[in-house]
Each structure stands twice: as C-alpha cells, then as structure tokens.
C-alpha cells in the first residue's frame, strides 16, 4: 500500500445551477463495486424523475477499479470528467452520482464538462476526506522535569497522544508517523538527554479527524 491514502470518511452532497439546469452531486464511501452499484441504484431511486444520473467511482489503494457512465449525456461530457475530479484529487474508495434536472437550455460540450466537474468538487467540499497513513505506537516514560520539553516536541510535530498517565512519573502513549519516527525519537533523546524511556510498539494505519486519531485494523 502507498504511504498515504486519501479516502472519503463521510459523504456529502453539493449542488449548482447552470442555465436553469440543476446538478446535484452525491458522494459516498464505497469499498467494492457491489457497494458502488448499490449506492448508484439508491440515488437513481431517490431522483427517479431526473433526466440523468451520471456516475463515477474509484476503488483500491492505487485506483485499481474505476468506472463511469454518462447516462445519456453526450459521450465524455459527464462520467469521465467526474472520474477525473476524483482521480485528480487522489480520493480513493469513493462513488459519486450527479443528478441533472434539465432546465430547457442546451449547455454544449464544454458547459456540461464544467457543470458535472463543478458539482463533484462541491460535493467533495461538503464531505469529510481524510488521509490514511502508517504510524508506529511509541510509549514515552519520563519524570516531570522533562515533560515540558516532550510536550513541546509532540506539539511541534503534531504527534497524536492516544493516552496519558500522570502518577509519580508520566507515561504517554503516542502515535508517530512512520516516515519520521527515527528523527522524532532522536529529538526526544536529545531533548531529554537520554533520560526518557522510549517503548516502541506496533505499526498501525490511522487517520486524523479534527486532530483525533482514527485507528484501522487493516491496510485497505
């Protein structure tokens, strides 16, 4: 798996109007083609009276599975531009449906591409997109004399703290991105003159939502 992995954590919807045509984009996380097709059918039933329900989805850590549909729009004016937005933003495991209610005025090829692409971007703005990365659990056992230096290094490097215990000494359980684990450990050793006891734990995949870590059991 790649070192970082952007994905939809919470879907959303966005809408724009172009020459009285309404474009409603609905975006959702999916982990399989079956889930994507189920979501597409759900949206089609919800907007059963719309002229078009164009679709695009991408699945896999390297976008191994991608599909798109113009659903009756001129070829290449809807589904592919929608998919290109997802790929351009490097968002994985995501399906989007753009529903069009025709406003009576033809938009032309360029107008359709801009409208469908713009609707997807608006849906992305209304969704929660997170970045999954690999981290290593690190326990930090120290006395109170060095806790200020340690907290400074944690804050400076935006290291998530999973738990903390303050008794006669301090024990912090942290999650350090794998990419700079060694440099962070070196900074801790230097900052505490080697007095802090560091306990390296397991590797995990995680993402940050509003600064809080979400842990994942699997890489996918």
Alpha helices in the chain (DSSP H): 33-46, 79-88, 108-125, 147-156, 181-191
In order of 5, 29, 137, the CA distances from 130 in angstroms are 8, 11, 20
Pair 75, 104 in one domain: yes
> 10 Å Cβ neighbour count for 154?
18
Pair 73, 165 in one domain: no
pTM: 0.82
Question: Residue 43: which pLDDT band, with cuts at 50, 70 and 90?
Answer: very high
State which of 104, 126, 148 marks the end of a domain. Answer: 126
Q: Are the CB atoms for 163 and 133 separated by under 8 Å?
A: no
Which residues touch 168 (CB under 8 Å, ≥6 apart)?
Answer: none
Question: 107-116, pLDDT tens digit by residue?
Answer: 899 999 999 9
Question: Residue 220: which pLDDT band, with cuts at 50, 70 and 90?
Answer: very low
Pair 18, 80 in one domain: yes
Question: Residue 56: which pLDDT band, with cuts at 50, 70 and 90?
Answer: very high
Q: Which pLDDT value is given to residue 3?
A: 67
Pair 86, 121 in one domain: yes
Mean pLDDT over each residue of the chain, to the nearest integer: 93
State which of 62, 94, 126 marks the end of a domain. Answer: 126
Q: Which pLDDT value is given to residue 218?
A: 59
Torsion, Cα of 195, 200, 205, 206 (10° steps): -30
Pair 21, 47 in one domain: yes
Alpha-carbon gap, residue 60 to 79, rounded angstroms: 19
Q: What domain range is 168 assigned to?
A: 134-216
Instruction: Read off the CATH number of the domain in which 171 is found.
Output: 3.30.70.240
Number of domains in the chain: 2
Pair 31, 99 in one domain: yes
- Both ends of the chain: CA-CA distance in Å? 8
State which of 126, 153, 179 marks the end of a domain. Answer: 126
């Amino acid at each position: 798996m790649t070192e970082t992995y952007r994905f939809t954590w919470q879907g959303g919807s966005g809408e724009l109007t172009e020459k009285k045509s309404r474009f409603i984009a609905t975006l959702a996380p999916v982990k399989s083609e079956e889930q994507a097709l189920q979501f597409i059918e759900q949206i089609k039933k919800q907007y059963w009276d719309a002229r078009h329900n164009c679709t695009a989805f991408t699945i896999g850590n390297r976008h191994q599975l991608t599909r798109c549909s113009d659903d009756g729009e001129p070829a290449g004016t809807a589904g592919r531009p929608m998919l290109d937005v997802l790929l351009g933003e490097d968002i994985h495991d995501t399906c989007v449906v753009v529903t069009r209610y025709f406003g009576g005025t033809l938009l032309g090829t360029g107008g359709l591409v801009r409208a469908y692409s713009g609707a997807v971007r608006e849906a992305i703005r209304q969704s929660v997109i997170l970045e999954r990365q690999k981290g290593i659990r690190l326990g930090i056992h120290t006395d109170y004399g060095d806790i200020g230096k340690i907290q400074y290094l944690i804050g400076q490097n935006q290291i998530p703290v999973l738990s903390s215990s303050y008794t006669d000494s301090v024990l912090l359980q942290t999650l350090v991105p794998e990419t700079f684990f060694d440099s962070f450990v070196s900074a801790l050793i230097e900052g505490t003159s080697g007095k802090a006891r560091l306990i390296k734990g397991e590797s995990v995949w995680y993402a940050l939502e509003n600064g809080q870590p979400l842990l994942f059991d699997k890489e996918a």
